[in-house]
Amino acid sequence: MPKFDPQKYLKKTPDRQDEKTNTSKTQTNPLSHDDYNKVKEVVSQLETLGIDITASYDNWIKIGFAFADAFGSMGEALFHSVSSNYPEYDAESCRKQYQKCLDSTNSGATLGTFFHLAKEAGVTPSSHKQKVYTLATSQRASVAQEEPEEEQITQEQEPSLPVIPSSVYKLLPKFLEEVTKCAARDQERDLLLLGSLTVMSSCLPNVYGMYDQNIVYPNLFLFVTAPASSGKGRINLCRKLVYPIHKQKRDATNSQKVQYEVELSEYYDLKKTQKGSTPQKPEEPRDQMLFLPANNSATGAFELLANNDGKGLIFETEGDTLAQAFKSEHGNYSDGFRKAFHHEEISYYRRTASEYVDIKSPQLSAVLSGTPDQVLSLMPDSENGLFSRFIFYKMQRQKQWKNVFANTSKESLDSIFDELGDQYLKYYQILEGFGSGIKINLREHQIEQFNAFFSKEYDKFLFLQKTGLEASLFRLGLICYRMAMIFTIIRSLENNSLTNILHCQDIDMENAITIVESLLNHTQIVYRYLPEKKQTLPKIKNLKESFLDELTTSFSTQKYKSIANKLKIPEKTSERYIKQFVEKGYLQRIGHGQYLHGLKKEG
């Protein structure tokens, strides 16, 4: 069978007639989210296995029509993912073809066509990897036929942590593609993406959005936790992306201080020579900077923030530096940290100047990294709210020796990120000089997608009794929107299409939700570090949650009964659990004794 040439087909396809023709597909088709998730699971598996079902141009066209008819513009990310296994995949050609599918009518292709092609290629959802948990037999000896609703399960070995799916990286704005392509492994790639998003969030002047009827800015808080020798030090590269902005501010301050010294000297000379009149004393320039030192007193930290119009970035690779500042007698500015996340006004008193200062709408970002013990040192419990304001990413220790002399002939990472920093400085200067606000809006179908995702996750939290983490889930909603804002503004800068109102693209909304979906797992794992007496989420899972986690993407009645038996769950209890999971939408019954797991995703 000849391989498909996208360019060849594009020449055969009639040109678009009129932008106003058949615009109905540009919005999401009102199919259930279960259909979308089911397609997404299969696409993810095809991508992971590197299987191309688009080699025939007829198949490629049919898949595009099917996705366009079912999902409208929201299906473009799926179309890129399924097309990317083709050896000559080209993102621009793929984008143009999908637009033609959106503009067409009566294609006749359905999602059934896509599933049939995937099945012919030997791909079914059951080929997903499954997490393996092992029970401690001492905890199971007393279990008989009773209903073990709250019985818990231990893990002898922590499962592999989820990474951000590779589909996200294929559809990033080009600047972020350059940042992340330097990574040598998946965790490092995630680290560079999250770190760069966070540092960039501190340097997007004039960019804002509306969330829950409040004006919000893109600022993010990130904590990367990992044991020693896990590679978390790579996050220092992200600092280079915004260092030119910090240097520009410091150079401006130094120049102003030189001028101030000259004017101050002239002031004293005039004061001595002019009798009867007092010249005006020059005002000392404010200390401008981007990077705010974490090791500071509360007043010192707030004063620096005020000097920089409420904007700044705390970047510390040792999380206990900030923790020690919070523990000192005059250094606890944790309350200001919490207020800054929601841009709430911070007030403080400067004794030296006898001045009461208000910082209205602070815009602070933070990047911290450290060991699990340092998380505890900074956040001894979840009750003060600091925990729920952070993005958490947990890295695992390297499992083998890394060749530290590989790629020595290539350009150093320091040089690459220095160049990227110079490029980002230009973006910053464009935004700074724009002169008016740039509002980031979501489209109606994106709002529906956003609400559907978080509603389902919140319902799952309540159903599995994950009380204590609700605040983190709620704030991950705001974090998700802020990520979409960053993707949107960077893509607009790349396309030279800045306007006062920008609309998020579907691929950027999809990427933001997909990233947050992975981060939910990391947040729950880190939360279990907190002292047991202060948290309500158990340190180990209850049987219901463990049973749901062990169910594979596709399974039969016989399979789930086997899993239940391994977990020592009585048969009647497992049947009741399955019924509840189906009613909640976590599982789909696709046939007699056959099920699909709607929550599973391949990283």
- pLDDT tens digits, one per residue of 249-298: 999 999 999 999 999 988 888 887 777 677 788 988 989 999 998 888 88
pLDDT at 583: 79
Mean pLDDT of 191-197: 97
In the predicted model, is pLDDT for residue 233 greater than 50? yes
Q: Per residue in 27-73, pLDDT tens?
A: 444 445 567 778 888 888 787 777 889 888 888 888 988 888 888 88
Mean pLDDT of 483-490: 98
pLDDT at 511: 96
Higher pLDDT, 302 or 228: 302
| Whether 295 contacts 321, CB under 8 Å | yes
10 Å Cβ neighbour count for 269?
A: 11
In the predicted model, is pLDDT for residue 19 greater than 70? no
pLDDT at 428: 97
Paired tokens of 3: 């391989």
Paired tokens of 43: 């696409």
pLDDT at 374: 80
Higher pLDDT, 335 or 24: 335
Report d(CA 36, CA 74) in Å as an integer: 9
Higher pLDDT, 217 or 408: 217
Band the pLDDT of 23: cuts 50, 70, 90: very low
The long-range contacts involving 19-24, CB below 8 angstroms and separated by at least 24 positions, are 21/103, 22/102, 22/103, 22/104, 22/105, 24/72
Mean pLDDT of 378-407: 78
Higher pLDDT, 102 or 25: 102
In the predicted model, is pLDDT for residue 18 greater than 60? no
Band the pLDDT of 133: cuts 50, 70, 90: very low
Report d(CA 281, CA 267) in Å as an integer: 6
Percent helix, strand and coil across the chain, each to the nearest 5: 50, 10, 35
Least confident of 150-154, 451-455, 545-549: 150-154
Strand 221-225 and strand 391-394: the pairing is parallel
Q: Per residue in 111-126, pLDDT tens?
A: 888 888 888 887 765 4
Q: Which string of b and e fits 321-339 if b means at least 16 CB within 10 Å?
A: bbbebbeeeebebbebbbb
Report d(CA 581, CA 559) in Å as an integer: 16
In 3D space, the residue among 298, 318, 292, 319 whose CA is nearest the CA of residue 202 turns out to be 292
Q: Per residue in 199-208, pLDDT tens?
A: 999 999 999 9
Domains of the chain: 6-123 (no CATH), 137-155+540-597 (1.10.10)
Mean pLDDT of 140-169: 55
In the predicted model, is pLDDT for residue 244 greater than 80? yes
pLDDT at 124: 67
pLDDT at 509: 96
Q: Is this model's pTM higher than 0.85 or not?
A: no
Band the pLDDT of 453: cuts 50, 70, 90: very high
Q: Per residue in 64-107, pLDDT tens?
A: 888 888 888 888 888 888 888 887 888 888 888 888 888 876 66
Report d(CA 298, CA 333) in Å as an integer: 5
What would the DSSP string read from start to end of 404-472? Answer: TTTTTTSPPHHHHHHHHHHHHHHHHHHHHTS-S-EEEE--HHHHHHHHHHHHHHHHHHHHTT-TT-HHH
Q: Report the percentage of the chain scoring pLDDT > 70.
A: 80
pLDDT at 331: 63
Mean pLDDT of 359-385: 83
pLDDT at 475: 93
Strand order in the sheet with 311-316: 311-316, 363-370, 221-225, 391-394
Band the pLDDT of 409: cuts 50, 70, 90: low
| Residue linked to tokens 């056959």 | 594
Winning range, highest mean pLDDT, from 109-123, 148-162, 235-249, 270-284: 235-249
Least confident of 139-148, 430-439, 508-517: 139-148
φ/ψ of 389, rounded to 5, equals -90, -10
Strand 214-216 and strand 221-225: the pairing is unpaired
Report d(CA 524, CA 387) in Å as an integer: 11
Paired tokens of 35: 């259909």
Band the pLDDT of 129: cuts 50, 70, 90: very low
| Whether 45 contacts 128, CB under 8 Å | yes
pLDDT at 241: 97
pLDDT at 599: 57
Least confident of 5-19, 252-266, 490-504: 5-19
pLDDT at 543: 76
pLDDT at 155: 37
Mean pLDDT of 335-360: 85
pLDDT at 460: 83
Least confident of 11-25, 193-207, 211-225, 247-261: 11-25
Helix (H) or strand (E) holding 590: strand 587-591
Mean pLDDT of 176-189: 92
Backbone φ/ψ region at 276: left (φ over 0), alpha (ψ -120 to 50), beta: left
Band the pLDDT of 168: cuts 50, 70, 90: very high
Report d(CA 136, CA 567) in Å as an integer: 10
Q: Per residue in 539-588, pLDDT tens?
A: 456 678 778 878 887 888 888 888 888 888 888 888 888 888 887 777 88
Beta bridge mates, 365: 313
Strands (E), 181-267: 207-211, 214-216, 221-225
Winning range, highest mean pLDDT, from 120-124, 128-132, 499-503: 499-503
pLDDT at 120: 82
| Whether 170 contacts 91, CB under 8 Å | yes
> What does pLDDT average to over the chain?
80
Report d(CA 56, CA 359) in Å as an integer: 61
Q: Which string of b and e fits 354-378 if b means at least 16 CB within 10 Å?
A: eeeeebebbbbbbbbbbbeebbbbb
pLDDT at 384: 66
